[in-house]
Structure 1
Amino acid sequence: MSDFDQDRIDDAYTILSKIGNISRSPALSSLEGMAPHVYDAFDGEVLFDIYYDGGRDFKSITFTEIFSHGLLISPCNDAMRYDMALHALNDEDPSVPAERILGWGRIDKYQLRKRLSRKPVPAAVFLPGTNLLSDKVNWAQVQAAVDAGALVKMHPITSAGWERRLKQEFGSRLVSKGESGFDLLAAAERVYTTSNSEMGLLGILMDKPVDLVEGGVTSKRPIYRQLYEAVLPQDNPKAALEKLLGSRHAGFYWPWHDSSRPLEIVNAMRTFAHA
């Protein structure tokens, strides 16, 4: 048993240890009824919101929330995740139209203030949480975007120390961590983000140009990165992402799916474990 086996999507201590005292979106509570089907589908280790690169012996899977209304289930192996995301581009599963996802309205993972201004902005930079700010952000790219008119959105989980540093650096171009990221995303004409964030994926669904501003050696580890790598090189990233959203190979489990969906995803993983 690993140190993370007791981390559960419906456990208050688990959530508190991950995000502190910030309030999560009420929509996330609906996922608690979906999570047990993930545990039932796999007889090995099932991790929530924790990932490591294990072997292709396929002993562990992980799942996390996606767009506040679904689950993304992945094998704990980098090669399998990326192989399966590429395979998903051409499998037989039907696509999920962007309108079905965006029809949920404001998709913020946390309870954030509504953005008052409805004016469009040239671009928005969505930063990751505190633990990734030091070495996973290309700050030269961020500064170039700001110089061209972009606003910088702090992640809701940003430490006080980093908040002070960002205010000193970007001044009035910095958007409060308590303000809705989704509202800013909707107003932005261009999106800059890292592959740890869902915001770029939502931007792709909105048909906006999306760029990754990642620093240092780019790791395969971010749990959404295989999605970005699969769809961004395509001629039509939006259509490609819609295809992945419906694919068992990409690992998506939505509330309209039957409870057998996680088992279908795990069975697809088994094929790639022995490839």
Structure 2
Amino acid sequence: MAYKWRIQRIGGVYHIIQRGNNKSSIFREEVDRGYFIKLLKKYKKGLGYKVYAFVLMDNHYHLILQTLGAKLQDVMHRINLQYSRFFNSKYERIGHVFQGPYKSILVQDEKYLFSLIRYIHQNPIKAHICTRVEDYKWSSDYFYRTNYNGLVDIDLILNMISQNRKHAIATYKDFISKRIINSEDSIEEITCIREGAQEEIKKAATEKTTRPSLDDILKMIIPDGDIIQDIKDGKRYRNLKKYKVQYINKALEWEYTQQEIANNISLKQTAINYLINN
């Protein structure tokens, strides 16, 4: 079956669902879950994305991510590929770990975002693993409950509830404890979002996703001004190739065209295409 290209945008908030192949377990031991969390941390630092929620079940996982500097398919490809290699090597197996491509849903409404976070955190209860959200170790609930802004970026959600952090956490705990059946169960009943929060979040998202200029991208990648100038002048020194490739890939992630990228570094579009593929 041909791979279906995903239409996604940098800055989008996505609910990710990934299941095990044939509904098989993808996490057999706690060490497996720990390794997956390690990958989330690693690629968050390297690719630039925010984690708003997660839960790791036996045969599937849920994530809520906001992409910033990279496209979602690049983020998920790296995480799933690296984890699959780890899993197959550890358990001396071959074949697919995951059941096809991940499912992604763009989250465009703050009430839906809240309902998803509750649904995700209540997954272990639904699976009869525990009776309270806080008793399950492998979810992002701990970060919100303890005001720990580490792997999980808790500020967005808690600030939407209240600017008073103590009150926000107390309201979060009460909200999360209300039992639901599915992710869309009580969206209209969500009243804990403070007035004015929606516009602030929209403004913040816009600020975070402003596309850098092509020259800014060069400066992000290359600290040496002389090297930048050599690249801008179209020079073809061998030591410049790795910088050009990094620059081109990052510019493509920000949805610049090959022609725009070529014009900025005094190359032809055919040269850009060659550098990408060689």
TM-score, reference length from structure 1: 0.22
Which structure has greater helix proportion?
Answer: 2
Higher relative contact order (CA 8 A, sep 6+): 1
TM-score, reference length from structure 2: 0.22
